[in-house]
Amino acid sequence: MGLAERVIALVEPHPGVREIRLVGSRAEGRANERSDWDFMVDASDFTAVTDALPRLVEPLDPLVQQWDRLSLEHCWMLMLHGPTKVDLIFPHEPHALEPPWKVSAETLDGIEAHFWDWMLWLSSKDAAGKHEVVTAELRKLFDHILAPIGVDHPPSSIAQAVAAYREGRARAEHRLGVAVSRDLETAVASSLCR
For 85-94, how does the pLDDT look when each residue is reduced to its tens digit (9 = 90+)? 999 999 999 9
Domains and CATH numbers, the chain: 3-94 (3.30.460.10), 108-192 (no CATH)
Q: Note the pLDDT tens digit of each residue in 135-189.
A: 999 999 999 999 999 999 999 999 999 999 999 999 999 999 999 999 999 999 8
Look at residue 1 and tell me whether its pLDDT is greater than 80: no
Burial of 7 (0-12, 13-18, 19+ CB in 10 A): buried
Q: Considering the entire predicted model, what is its pTM? A: 0.94
CB atoms closer than 10 angstroms to residue 161 = 25
Position 91 scores a pLDDT of: 97
Burial of 5 (0-12, 13-18, 19+ CB in 10 A): exposed
Nearest CA to 10 among 80, 68, 59? 59
- For the chain, the average pLDDT equals 95
Judge whether 172 and 149 are in contact, CB under 8 Å. Answer: yes
The one-letter code for the residue type at 141 is: L
Q: What are phi and psi of 83, to 5 degrees?
A: -80, 155
Q: What percent of the chain has pLDDT over 70?
A: 99
